[in-house]
Amino acid sequence: MGTNTKLYSLASLQFDNRFIRELPADSATDNIRRQVLQACYSFVQPAKVPAPQLISYSKEVAQLLDISEQDCQSDTFLNAFVGNQLLDGMKPYAQCYGGHQFGNWAGQLGDGRAINLGEVINQQGQRQTLQLKGAGETPYSRGGDGLAVLRSSLREFLCSEAMFHLGVPTTRALSLITTGQQVTRDMFYDGRPQQELGAVVCRVAPSFTRFGSFEIFSSRGDTDTLKQLLDYTITTDFPELGEPSVDVYIKWFKEVADRTIDLVVHWMRVGFVHGVLNTDNMSILGLTIDYGPYGWIDNYDPNWTPNTTDASNKRYRFGHQAQIAQWNLGQLANAIFPLIEQAEPLREILNQFATDYTERWQTMRAEKLGLSSFIAETDESLNQDLHVLLQHFETDMTIFYRRLADIDVSNLNLTDDALIEPLLAAYYDAEALTAEDKSQICTWLRRYQQRANQDDIDAETRKQNMNAVNPKYVLRNYIAQQAIDAAEQGDTAYVDNLLEVLRRPYDEQPENEQFAAKRPEWARQRPGCSMLSCSS
């Protein structure tokens, strides 16, 4: 932060709470499960917990909120961000929204285990909503208890910050705090529930409004509340578009589509699979939101999904995320149609999605290969053939692209063994590669050499360019599980060390090579390292 920047104390946080000031509230105040009509939120209170303990916090998010590191280690911070204490200006509430889940309309969903504390305006005039996940029941909890466990909470805390440092649009995480109480969870819904340590994550974002926030009111024919919410969203989060009107509604939908495209391209670039891309898990700001059964591609497999619930249909598999994003945008278009009553402009934006996504995806793939631009005549087949090779020879996606920068593209006379040598660490069974296998891979590598040489980029610049988009460190599933194992045994140092590594995902960090290793064999089928459920 600048030398003239003052860090406020927690007591000086400037709560604005525009969301609840300008949008309609639930008239009922009892915290019981119910259908909430003609309201964007319900007032609730976080549940008190017996013995909170700070596991970790993000110093970058604290700075974003003008909170000092000293305050982050105070009892006031601990109690405020676990839900035991309300700071001046906090007015807790849970949002009402609906959604399509796995392609089917699910009706009212809402914040079943998330409670918004309020909106803070920082020194730069930026609005940030503070939200506790796992802080107790709300009217939207349905059959749940509103709580969360350390296992899933740690995954969300780490991944939120890992994604930010990777340059992927995301909600953030300020803190991870255990509650000192046990929570019952059936991790794989197989009739074997267990007691797990409870935890609360403080999530941070300019807005937590979702596609489903608009769907719920449209589905009920409540166009008055629908219009209030859309006008508020444009005025608050998209003021550059102008005063709300039919034309601005259309511009807004185009902007949401553009941000969604950019988001999915980033996911594909770093090998991230969201795992549960329901419309209630899609942010209107184009942020990665709701880290549930997510996963990172280890061996490159476009058909892989980390979600056990989706294991048979694979609706939310890695290679299908763009199509799902477009489908979800279609549901958002349907939701706002009553305010526009013009199908063609919305249809044009949806139809343009595939073209715009493909162009940005191709540019991203060119950057991953260190090419100055995408040339369809040569690069489409180059990428398609690589797509096949990466699957045929079980290949770690992250390591492959990172090591590809070490290939000497100028020396066209290398033997197959010398040419492939920098990439061997990316193969899960490199010793099993036959001479014929290596020849097949090297045939592609020689085509790549020739294509890279067309750009006339010097070797060092090419490597720098590639290393700037191809991370060395991602939150591999097995590493996240190791962090969970350590935290459950009271070892919080592992979490802090891992968080520090993830702050610099594109740097070499030779002292942290163990965090860049490909998935070990023991993690191939272990729960938490390969597949996850929506249980938290």
Active site residues: 280
| Whole-number Å distance between alpha carbons of 40 and 28 | 13
* 437 HSE (CA, 13 A, CB side): 15
Angle between helices 321-340 and 343-368 (to 10 degrees): 150
| Whole-number Å distance between alpha carbons of 195 and 527 | 17
* DSSP one-letter string for 356-384: HHHHHHHHHHHHHTT-SS--HHHHHHHHH
Pair type for strands 104-108 and 93-95: unpaired
Q: How far apart are the first and last CA of the chain?
A: 36
Q: Which DSSP state fits 234?
A: H
Question: Taking a C-beta distance cutoff of 8 angstroms, is the pair 479, 498 a contact?
Answer: yes
- Which is it for the CA torsion 14, 20, 21, 23, positive or negative? positive
Q: Calculate the dihedral angle through the C-alpha atoms of 248, 249, 251, 255, rounding to the nearest 10 degrees.
A: 130
Residue 43: exposed, middle, or buried by beta-carbon count in 10 A (0-12, 13-18, 19+)?
A: middle
